[in-house]
Amino acid sequence: MLIAIVGGVLAALGLLSAVALVAAPLGLSEASPGLTLWVLFPLFTLVGYALLVAGSRDPVVRLPTLLLAVPLLLLALAAAVALVAGAAGLWAIHGDGGSAPLWYVLVLGGVLGALGTAASGRRPQT
């Protein structure tokens, strides 16, 4: 049980890192995301997910997978909307990195979220 809790906290920190990466270019945060957030987003998300699954009592691990995959997909979608809005001139992209953090979250969050939702939808073979 403790492993699942630690995994959940690490996964939440990974998601928080992704939120910070998306918020900064949109001007929703004054902080500029540093290299630490760029590294911790995928690292904490993947390690946290692995620990969450290892400590889960759910035999098919659907709930922990969806709890992580859905927010990742939503963040990827928010990054995609922000990129389109920025390219159309509807929303200014701020920060030193320009749109790079948005692309990073779009690609990694989209891939990890899509894999997670696809894996959670599979039924075990009987």
Average pLDDT per 10 consecutive residues for the chain, totaling 126 residues: 88 94 89 90 93 76 82 95 93 85 95 85 61
Alpha carbon dihedral 31, 9, 121, 115, in 10-degree steps, equals 50
Q: What is the pLDDT of residue 66?
A: 85
Q: Which residue has the tokens 């075990």?
A: 124
What does the alpha-carbon distance between residue 84 and residue 109 come to, in Å, rounded to a whole number? 17
Identify which of 126, 119, 1, 3 has the alpha carbon closest to the alpha carbon of residue 61.
119
Q: What is the pLDDT of residue 95?
A: 78
